Structure 1
Amino acid sequence: MKSTTRRTLAAVITGVAAAVGAAATPAAAAGTVPVTVPLNGAEKALGTELPEVGGEIPLPAADRPEAPRFVTGRLLPERTVPQVPVNGGLPGLGARAPLAHVLGDGFDHVGVAAPATPLRTLTPGLSLDAPLTAPNPAGSHLPDLKQPEIGILAPVLRTDPAAALTAGTGR
């Protein structure tokens, strides 16, 4: 490859990266990054209508976990390893494809739209208690022995996905 071609290719890649970075900044504030598949050049080169494909990629963000709560009669807090909430979303998809008429010219279209939906999760957590009780003020002021306790806090996943399938005539 010639050095002129390499320089041109590097300039094009730098320009595309700058454009994508500038476009992603407002999207990052919104929580999703739009993604489109550019097929216009191939559509013009082939002289036919191609599908339109795009989507949204959500950006996950961790929230602040709940603080451990101390309970009377326990040496360790109620949630030793707290659950961490992570909010994000399911990716969105938008696609529209032409369907050629079997007889005659022209196209109909079929499309699917599944918008990005919010996703709220909680990571697994752990609740422990030591095999000792609090100091006994009535006796020798030493802790008594008891059964150790361990509990696993199950992860949580909440979302409400939706999708729509459409078909129609024309562009």
Structure 2
Amino acid sequence: MKSTPRTLAAVVAGVAAAMGAAAAPAAAVGTVPVPVPLEAAEKNLDMELPSLSGEIPLPRPGKPDGPQFVEGRLLPARTIPQVPLTGGLPGAGLRAPVPHVLGDDFDHIGVGVPAADLRTLAPGLSVDAPLTRPNPDHMGLPDTKLPQAGILAPALQTVPGADLAMGPGL
């Protein structure tokens, strides 16, 4: 078999792709890139089109804080615990050519919205029974009291951002 530069380039590209796929699995990255292929439309229309890509974050559930037992209560303080969930807001990138006013070159305008971290806590519930602990003064029977219920508010925390750029080339 005769080795040509084309086959050598194909082998090198295949090895590089395999090493890149093994080095960064999708679960460890945190986002999945989503390219939008517009090369065929560029070729058919014979013009430069914007390049568009996106990022979809992978949500990761966290470990909830378990119920906390408090002295003087029959039920734990966090009956239904809050479940944390981390992930991100989706990201997007757009680079569009704009005609240069003074020449035949193309300049570009770009908008980048990177994926932002997102941390959330699901709502939780804390309730207490309408009875107290056994009272030795009443032969071990519990006293009555008003029932208590509380909702643990959900939380949402993120810091989104965006970049706007203009420059030569595409």
TM-score tier, shorter chain, comes to 0.7 to 0.9
> Displacement, 1:165?
0.5
Question: d(CA) in 2 for partners of 1:27 and 1:51?
Answer: 26
Give aligned pairs, total: 151
Query: Once the two structures are superposed, what CA deviation does each residue of 1:25-72 show, in whole Å capped at 9, x if it has no partner?
Result: 822221110000001111111110000000110011111111101000
% identity of equivalent residues: 64
SS at 1:138's partner residue? helix
> Displacement, 1:101?
3.9
Contact 1:27 1:34 in 2 (8 A): no
1:72 — aligned with what? 71
SS at 1:34's partner residue? strand
Question: d(CA) in 2 for partners of 1:165 and 1:33?
Answer: 22
1:97 — aligned with what? 96
Contact 1:135 1:142 in 2 (8 A): yes
Deviates further, 93-102 or 151-160: 93-102
Structure 2 regions of 5+ residues with no counterpart? 1-20
AA aligned to 1:97 is: A
1:152 — aligned with what? 151
> Displacement, 1:107?
2.1
What pairs up with 1:85-124 in 2 under 5 angstroms?
85-101=84-100, 105-124=104-123
Query: Once the two structures are superposed, what CA deviation does each residue of 1:87-137 show, in whole Å capped at 9, x if it has no partner?
Result: 100111111011124675332211111111111100000000011111101
List 4+ stretches of structure 1 deviating above 6 A: none
2:46 — aligned with what? 47
Deviates further, 52-61 or 99-108: 99-108
Matched, 1:138 2:134: no
SS at 2:77's partner residue? coil
> Displacement, 1:139?
2.2
SS at 1:69's partner residue? coil
Structure 1 regions of 5+ residues with no counterpart? 1-22
